[in-house]
A and B are shown apart, each in its own frame.
Chain A
Amino acid sequence: MNLFGLIPSFLFVLLASSVGAADKASLTIQGAKLSVSSADGSLLNSQTLSPPETASPVTLGPTDVFKLAFTVVTSDSKTPVQPHQVFLRFYDPKTDEEGIHPIRVTSAGKAKLELNMAKPPLTLPPTTESPLEVTLLLGSYNYEPASFPLFSLTLPVSQPPPVHPDEASYHPLPSIFHTFRAEEKQPPQVISAVFTLLVLSPWFVLLVLWTQLPLSVPHLFSSEVLPFVVLLGAFEYLLVQYWVSLKLPQVLSYGAILGFLTAATGKRALSSLSKWRLGEKQ
């Protein structure tokens, strides 16, 4: 009994909900035709549209004229209506650019669109070579809304959208590498070595000649001369150190000490030398 009572009520609920959904009929279009003609009026492309099937892709040249005409009807009784919203949406999925173009519909549901690409409307989005998806949006206060993908449309490439000068700094910027000046070229080391030997060659001549000369240095290791010669050597060593590592103030201070000592020992060495020579002459 309970079970039998339940079934009709269940059916009733189903019926009621389906009635609720069918409360508003949905919108569709019929008799849709599109055509593309060139500037001189010759027909380039003509198709009939039967949504939800999409038409074959459409390409427009810079002077072509595109025409689209259809009638908006209710899906059940096919009575023509004038809905609130009849928009063509041009969308570029690659750049995410979008343009919405409202189509004027008469109270008899007749819609006509003419796009002259010589004077493109401002509602078209900035275009690249990639095709735009064209969708028809139908919305109304009294009927269920509907959207139909119509066709893909390739338009002449337009100016890119304006970009704020600071926009680039909100994305990773291209890397910049510094180009260094080329290292200075050095001549081959062999050539340097040859010329070094050339510079040093007088020493070989001198050494050879020295063997022919009777040389003796009896006073060199005397207490008067040796300190002076050693200090002269030290001066040369200081200059070599200046070249390699020391700084000017250090060189000046060491040089002052050395200079004082060298002057003192030099005076002693030279005076004793003159003494020897004078003594020898006498």
Chain B
Amino acid sequence: MRLLSLLTTALLVGLSAATSSAGNSVLVVLEPKLSREQFSIFFDGLESKGYDLTFRAPKDEKPVILEDDIPAFSHVIFFAPTTKNFASDITPQSIITLLENRVNVLIALSPSTTPLTSLAAEFSLILPPPNTPLISHFPSRPHPPTTLAITPHNGPNAPILSKNLGPVLFKGISHAYGENPRLVSILKAPKESFASDTESDRGSESIADAVEKGGEGLWAGGSMGVVSGFQTVSGARVTWVGGVDVFGDEFANAEALEGVKSGNEQFSKDVAAWTFQESLVLRIANTSHHLLGENYPRDHYTTKDEIVYSIDIERFDAKTSTWKPYSGITDLQLEYTMLDPHIRTALPPIKGAPGHYSVTFRAPDRHGVFKFVVDYKRKGWTHLHSAIVVPLVPPRHDGYPRFLSSAWPYYAGAISTSIGFVIFSALWLGGDVREKGKGKGKKAE
């Protein structure tokens, strides 16, 4: 009974999920210093898309983010960049549990140290020392040096951000990147920017000190990030934003440079759309394999067989909230693996069949338990993984060619013996000894 009600609620949630492929309930942990009105454009935009926002202060006991280790929301926004003490249910460990359960998390940071800044290191983000906001003196603009206007450079393969986005106003901290390939940079720091706690030109000495021996290093240049995403093994997405003001109404309505409107409104929408599994979401609809010339899968294949493998891939379309066949992947690869891949080949999209990718290959002449593996990981996109185990066997005793030219003498010998035996039997049984002279009769006896 309880299972049934759970199923129906799951179904209802699934039906009413208007935009995200991962559900529409959002918990916003908003610290008391910030008010909902400061972010009205961002929050109203989410609500108009169909998200169901629930607000809570960091120290409130309810609603809890995890109930008996089951997440209560599909997405969680942490707009508590200066909160040092959270209620007992919000700990770095509980956020990890959320991510393990495919809950998407958006986290805003600030120059001050909080429990969440210590969590950033787990995601290969290297934060600057406390209280060192990002500063840029370039270009001259109607904002203080700590408010930066950053022109987004979109990655060619993972279009998380919209095209032709205006400069994004940013105030907060930068972070250096570790080597983790699960990180995807959404917005990088300008090349002239650097992190510093000094507030006048006299601070130049301490900046030079930072790179000397024993210094804490300098967070400077265009290889730093300010907004970065991370895709976990479970498929959840977590986005780290160096400052909460990016999402604020003030920056959304301001001019980034003189006469140029800021792109913050669209930028925050794009960041939320990626974090909440609206954009760049793929899934595998179907996989199949069969012998060339057949159309049903075998439970095993023979070495040197011609095997056809095909996969159907769908992409989530947030506008209609449906999954649509997607043929846009050009670098999909299939691996035929026993311990190590024996064959790795391109899996190209088939023209005229949307979302269908197929390849024909010849099975190797080594038998064993092989797997068809598709493991598609690209930065920003959902990771796709599929593995089908199908044994590859050597030919059966009757699976070899029957007539080899090198064996003709043996065939001739065997057939001769058979025919000779039948002729001999016929002669011995049907011949008459007495009628035909004594010599032959003696022979037969």
Contact = CB atoms under 8 A, between A and B. Distances in A.
B181 A147 contact: no
B140 A82 contact: no
Nearest to B207: A102
B350 interface: no
A218 B202 CA distance: 131
A163 interface: yes
Interface in B249-277: none
Given A101-B211, A217-B430, A244-B402, A192 B198 contact: no
B44 interface: no
A123 to B, nearest CB: 5
B204 A86 contact: yes
A164 B136 contact: no
A199 interface: yes
Contacts of A240: 415, 418
Contacts of A100: 194, 218, 220-221
B201 A173 contact: no
Interface stretch (A4-12, A33-41, A54-62, A221-229): A221-229
B200 A84 contact: yes
Given A123-B218, A144-B140, A280-B434, A229 B207 contact: no
Contacts of A225: 429-430
Nearest to B335: A176
Interface string A112-155: 00000000011100000000000001011110110100000000
A162 interface: yes
Given A166-B181, A196-B408, A181 B218 contact: no
A2 interface: no
B148 to A, nearest CB: 12
Given A85-B194, A85-B204, A174-B344, A232 B425 contact: yes
A74 to B, nearest CB: 12
B158 to A, nearest CB: 11
A177 B418 contact: no
A220 B437 CA distance: 19
B68 interface: no
B389 interface: no
Contacts of A216: 431-432, 435-436
A203 interface: yes
Given A176-B341, A186-B404, A193-B408, A83 B204 contact: yes
Interface in B379-421: 379, 398, 402, 404-409, 411-413, 415-416, 418-419, 421
B11 interface: no
Given A175-B344, A203-B416, A181 B426 contact: no
B342 A176 contact: yes
Contacts of A254: none
Contacts of B342: 176, 178
Given A86-B204, A216-B436, A232-B422, A162 B179 contact: yes
Contacts of B207: 84-85, 102
B1 interface: no
B333 interface: yes
B177 to A, nearest CB: 11
Interface string A226-250: 0011001100100110011001000
Nearest to B413: A199
B422 A229 contact: yes
A196 B405 CA distance: 10
A120 B211 CA distance: 13
B392 to A, nearest CB: 11
B222 interface: yes
B406 A229 contact: no
A269 interface: yes
B377 A243 contact: no
A181 B405 contact: no
Contacts of B422: 229, 232-233, 236
A180 interface: yes
A174 B331 CA distance: 11
B398 A247 contact: yes
B438 to A, nearest CB: 12
A195 B413 CA distance: 10
A82 B343 contact: no
Residue among B204, B342, B346, B411 having the largest count of chain A Cβ atoms under 10 Å: B204
Contact of A105 (B139, B204, B421): B204
B405 A220 contact: no
Given A102-B208, A103-B208, A200-B412, A170 B378 contact: yes
B364 interface: yes
Contacts of B418: 236, 239-240
A139 B406 contact: no
A142 B201 contact: yes
Nearest to B410: A199
Interface string A54-90: 0000000000000000000000000001111111010
A277 interface: yes
Contacts of A178: 342-343, 362, 364-365
Contacts of B429: 219-220, 225, 228-229, 269, 273
A164 B398 contact: no
A24 B141 CA distance: 12
A198 interface: yes
B377 A170 contact: yes
A24 B435 contact: no
B194 A87 contact: yes
Contact of B211 (A102, A202, A232): A102
Contacts of A189: 405
Contacts of A81: 201
Closest 5 CB pairs of A and B: A220-B430, A139-B137, A217-B430, A164-B179, A176-B344
22 contacts: A84-B196, A84-B203, A87-B192, A100-B221, A102-B220, A104-B204, A105-B204, A141-B145, A145-B140, A180-B362, A180-B364, A189-B405, A192-B405, A199-B416, A200-B412, A220-B429, A221-B430, A222-B430, A225-B430, A232-B425, A236-B422, A243-B402
